[in-house]
Amino acid sequence: MDNGAYQPEQEIKSSILLNTFQIDKKSYRVFYNNETLIWEKIKNNKSKVIIPIHDVISVCYPKRKSSQPTPQVTPSLTSPQHTQQIYHDANDDNRSITINYAKRCIDPKVESGKSSKNCGDRNKWRIHSVTLHSNDKYIIKEWHDTLNKILNALKRPRKLLLFINPYGGKKNALQLYEKYAKPIFRMANVDVSVIISQRPNQIFDLVMQQQLDQYDGIICSGGDGTFSELFNGLIYRKMLSEHSNGMESNEELNLDNENIPSPDIPCGIIPAGSTDTIAYCLHGTTDIKTCIIHIVLGQVSGFDISSISNDKGLIKFYASVVAYGFLGDISFEQENYRFLGPRRYEWVGFKKVLLNRGYDVEVLIHQDNALSSTNQGQNSVNNCDKIKCYENCSVCSMPSTSTANMKKANEEEKFKKITGRFFMVNLANISCACQRSPSGMSPYCHLADGYNDIILVRHGNIFQNLRFLIKLSSKTGQITDFPFVEMYRTNKVYFKALNSTSEGSLTDSTQPISNLGPNKYTSVWNCDGEIVQDTDVIIRAHRKLLPVFYRGPVQEDLENKSRGCCCC
Ligand SMILES: Nc1ncnc2c1ncn2[C@@H]1O[C@H](COP(=O)(O)OP(=O)(O)OP(=O)(O)O)[C@@H](O)[C@H]1O
C-alpha cells in the first residue's frame, strides 16, 4: 500500500531520464532506466557504454580548483581525524556534469569490439569519468539532481572509521592511504575518520572502547593481522553488548561460543600487509584501488569467520587459516626476521622445512549430515563437487537451515577420528589464495558456506615435504593429489597434540610469547598470522558471521578465456 512516504528503492527503480548530450564533442543519446545508465553514439549505436547505477561513484558539476590545501593526516593519532572533502559547485549556470563510475578492467580492444580476448585482470576495478555537456542548463540540473537523489538512496557508507597500521607490510600504509584511498573517498563524498595504530592490539582495544554508532563501516589498512584485530574487536564487542545483562567475566562470555552474534557494522580491508591473503580471497586481487572501490560502492555480504577455543572458552576468531606444525613454526619465528620484509617467510620457511620432524596429533572431525549427503558420507573434499567460490556463489547462497535441522534429527554427532604424525594440520576458512599461492591451499573452500577445510599433511622425508610446498605455491595442480594429504570439509574439529610435555593446554595463550613456544614435541598455531599456543582446542566455523564490503572474485572460466592472449 502506498502511504505516500518517501521510499528510496522506488526512487532508484522508477526514475527515467533520456536526453542528448555532447561527450568529447560528439553527440550521444544518454538514458537512465531500470537502475542502469547507458550512453551511445547517435551516429554509431555500436559504441555503447552500460553502467549499473550501483557502480556509479558520484555525479557532480565540474569542480573549481579549491584554493584550500588538502588536509594532511598527522601520524600517531589515537582519536579519529576527519578528512572530508567539500565540493564546490561552479555556479548555477552549469552546462555539464561529470559522472564518476567504477568498472572492471577490460582491455580497450575488447571494449571497442576489436578483440574478443582480454589481457586485463577482471578482478581489478578502475574509476572512469564521463562528462556530459548540454546547452540547456535545466537538463543538466535535472540529471544532476535526479542521479544524486538515486545515489543518496543507495545503501552506501557515508561515514567510515579507518584504522591504519603503519608497521605491517612495507610500512607504507599511510602513504598508500594518502595516494590511493583519500582521493577515492573524497570523490565518493565519504567522510573518513582516521586512527593510526601505535602498538599491537591497539585496534582491538579501540574497537572495544570507542563509540561506533555514528559510523556506517569500520575499515582498516594493513595486513591480515590488522584485519584480524578489527574483526575480533567487532565480534567481541557485539558478544559483550548481547550479554551485557549479568555478564561478569570473559569466561561466562565464552560459554556459548556456538551461537556468536553478528556485528551490526560492516567492515573492510585496504591491503597494506605482507601477504594480504584475506583481501586476495575476498576480491580475487590485492589491488588497492579495487579494494577501496568495493568499500565506497558499499556492497556488503556475510563472510564466514571461525573460532579457536580451549576448555576455558574462546581464544580467538580467525578469517583465513589456523595452522599447526610447519606454518605455526614459521609464524613463531618470522617476527625475529621482520627486517627482511616479506622475504622473511621464505628464509624462515627454508629453515623449518629442513628441521621439521613432524608432530603427533589426534583430530576428531565433525561429520556434518548436510555435507554427507553430497559427499557420499566421506566429508572429503576429494569426493565433493569441485565448485570454486566466486561472486554470487551458488554454494554460499544456499540457506543455512540444513545444519540446524539435521542436528535435531540425529541427536548424536558423528566424528571421524584421525591420529598420526603430521608435517602440518591446517584449517582453512577461505581458499588462502594469495599472490604467492594463486590457487591457495584449499581452492574449493567457500567464503560464506559455514565450513572449514581441514588439511592433514602426513610427515615424510624432506623431499616429500618440499614437493608438497612446491605444489602449494604452484598455479596448477592440487595438494590433494598427493597420497599423504587428506582434506575434509567440516564445521567443527577437536584437536589434541600427543606426546605433549606441556601437561595440557597453556592458558592465556595469546599473551606475549617470550620463552614459550614450540618444543621438541609440539608446535604452535598460526592463527591468521598470530600465535596461539594451546595444543588442545576446538575449532568451529561460524557462517556469514561478519558483514564485509566485498563481492567475491570473478568467475575463473571467463577469466581464463579472457586471458587467452597473454602468451602473445
Ligand atoms: N603501530 C604498531 N607498531 C607495531 N605493531 C603494530 C602496530 N600496529 C599494529 N601492529 C601489529 O602489527 C602486526 C603486523 O601487522 P599485519 O599482520 O597487518 O602486517 P603483515 O604481517 O606485514 O601482513 P600479513 O599479515 O598480510 O602478512 C599485527 O600483529 C598488529 O598487531
pLDDT tops 70 at residue 520: no
- What is the overall mean pLDDT for the chain? 82
List pLDDT tens digits, range 219-269: 999 999 999 999 999 999 999 988 765 444 555 455 456 679 999 999 999
CA dihedral 513, 516, 521, 522 (to 10 degrees): -30
233 lines ligand 1 (CB under 6 A): no
Residue 225's pLDDT is 93
Q: How would you classify the pairing of strands 267-271 and 217-222?
A: parallel
Cell 575499515 belongs to: 219
> Which tops the pLDDT comparison, 106 or 553?
553
What is the pLDDT, as a whole number, of residue 79? 60
- Cβ atoms 140, 134 nearer than 8 A: yes
Band the pLDDT of 428: cuts 50, 70, 90: very high
pLDDT for the residue 72: 47
Specify the pLDDT at position 559. 46
Q: Which amino acid is at 412?
A: E
In whole angstroms, give the CA distance from residue 387 to residue 369.
19
In the structure, what pLDDT confidence band is assigned to residue 102 with cuts at 50, 70 and 90? very high
| pLDDT reported for residue 78 | 58
**ipTM field:** 0.97
**Least confident residue range of 39-53, 82-96, 190-204, 497-511:** 497-511
**Span 189-202, mean pLDDT?**
96
Atom of ligand 1 nearest to the CA of 528: 25
| CB-CB contact of 249 with 314 (8 Å) | no
Residue nearest to atom 14 of ligand 1 (CA): 168
Query: Per-residue pLDDT for 77 more than 50?
Result: yes
| Whole-number pLDDT of residue 479 | 85
pLDDT bin (cut points 50, 70, 90) of residue 377 is very low
Least confident span in 271-275, 288-292, 329-333: 329-333
What residues contact 514, with CB distance under 8 A and at least 6 apart?
Answer: none
7-45 pLDDT, tens digit per residue, is 667 767 778 999 999 999 999 999 999 899 999 998 876
Q: Any alpha helices (H) in 168-223, and if so which ranges?
A: 173-176, 182-187, 202-209
- pTM here is 0.85
271 lines ligand 1 (CB under 6 A): no
Q: Closest Cα to atom 17, ligand 1: which residue?
A: 225
Strands 525-527 and 530-532: antiparallel
Confidence of residue 401 (pLDDT cuts 50, 70, 90): low
Residue 343 pLDDT = 76
Per-residue pLDDT at 510: 45
Residue 200 in contact with ligand 1 by CB distance below 6 A: yes
Tens of pLDDT, residue by residue over 104-162, are 987 665 555 555 555 568 899 999 999 999 999 999 999 999 999 999 999 999 999 99
Q: How many Å apart are CA 397 and CA 60, to the nearest integer?
A: 36
Q: Is the pLDDT of residue 406 over 50?
A: no
**Whole-number CA gyration radius for the chain:** 26
Q: Above 60 in pLDDT, residue 65?
A: no
Q: Average pLDDT, stretch 343-365?
A: 84
Which fold is adopted by the domain 8-69+86-155? PH-domain like (2.30.29)
Rounded to whole angstroms, what are the CA distances from 159 to 55, 265, 496? 19, 12, 45
User: 315, 250, 234, 286: which is closest to 525 by C-alpha?
Assistant: 315
- Ligand 1 centroid to Cα of residue 274, in Å, is 9
Cell, residue 551: 563481492
| Burial call 301-337: b when 16+ CB within 10 Å, e when fewer | bbbbbbbbbbeebbbbbbbbbbbbbbbbbbbbbbeee
197 ligand 1 Cβ < 6 A: yes
Is 222 near ligand 1, meaning CB less than 6 Å away? yes
- What lies within 8 Å, CB to CB, of 248 at 6+ separation is none
Which CATH number does 305-543 carry?
A: 2.60.200.40
| pLDDT band at 327; cut points 50, 70, 90 | confident
* Cα angle: 450, vertex 402, 236; to 5 degrees: 35
Question: For the chain, first and last CA: distance in Å?
Answer: 60
Q: What is the pLDDT of residue 274?
A: 86
Higher-scoring residue by pLDDT: 260, 374 = 260
pLDDT class of 184 with cuts at 50, 70, 90 = very high
Cell representation of residue 373? 549427503
Question: What pLDDT sits at residue 112?
Answer: 57
Q: Return the H-helix or E-strand segment holding 300.
A: strand 300-310
Q: Which atom of ligand 1 is nearest to the CA of 278?
A: 26
* pLDDT at residue 5 tops 80: no
The b-or-e profile of 28-46 (16+ CB within 10 A means b, else e) is bebbbeeeebbbbeeeeee
Least-confidence region, from 218-232, 241-255, 333-347, 447-461: 241-255
> What letter would DSSP give residue 116?
S
Q: 373 CA to middle of ligand 1, Å?
A: 42
Q: How many Å apart are CA 203 and CA 195, to the nearest integer? A: 9
Ligand 1, atom 30, residue with closest C-alpha: 200
Q: How much is the pLDDT for 472?
A: 82
Residue 436 pLDDT greater than 60, yes or no: yes
- CA–centroid distance, 197 to ligand 1, in Å, is 9
Domain with CATH 2.60.200.40 in the chain: 305-543
Identify the DSSP state of 158.
S
Q: Specify whether the CB–CB gap between 198 and 509 falls below 8 A.
A: no
Residue ranges of the chain that CATH labels 2.30.29.30: 8-69+86-155
**Cα 63–chain centre separation:** 34
What's 40-77 look like in SS3? EECCCCCCEEEEEHHHEEEEECCECCCCCCCCCCCCCC
